[in-house]
């Protein structure tokens, strides 16, 4: 699902096809089952933090709550809307099967 358009408040996000995760001092890597092959992806700080929040929620989390939780952990971004940052990150991680987003 591509996250474009209105209705962000109705979107829920959950963990995708992450098979394994490795956290190191240098960052986070995940092994993802795409349905055809397994891929290793290195996550950004935002990506790994979003995955942490979703894992701690122990189930789907609404987009507004996900945005608030990310801002609480990483702070308010300068000169950009935090909702737009999270929207783009969730869209990218959904495309890679790390997350699943539904409305």
Model confidence over 3-55: pLDDT tens digits?
Answer: 445 678 889 999 999 999 999 998 999 999 998 999 999 999 999 999 999 99
Q: Which of 92, 83, 33 is nearest to 63 (CA)?
A: 83
Model confidence over 50-103: pLDDT tens digits?
Answer: 999 999 998 899 999 999 999 999 999 889 999 999 999 999 999 999 999 998
Round to whole Å and give the CA distance between 94 and 76: 23
Q: Are 14 and 60 within 8 A, CB to CB?
A: yes
Q: C-alpha angle with apex 77: 43 to 65, nearest 5 degrees? A: 75
Q: Which residue has the tokens 């979003």?
A: 50
Round to whole Å and give the CA distance between 85 and 89: 6
pTM for this predicted structure? 0.87
């Amino acid at each position: 699902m591509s996250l474009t358009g209105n209705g962000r408040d109705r979107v829920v996000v959950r963990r995708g096809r992450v098979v394994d995760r490795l956290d190191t001092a240098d960052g986070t890597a995940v092994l993802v089952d795409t349905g055809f092959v397994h891929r290793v992806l290195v996550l950004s700080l935002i990506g790994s933090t979003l995955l942490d929040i979703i894992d701690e929620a122990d189930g789907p989390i609404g987009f507004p709550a996900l945005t608030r939780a990310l801002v609480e952990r990483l702070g308010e971004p300068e000169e950009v809307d935090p909702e737009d940052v999270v929207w783009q990150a969730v869209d990218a991680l959904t495309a890679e099967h790390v997350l699943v987003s539904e409305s």
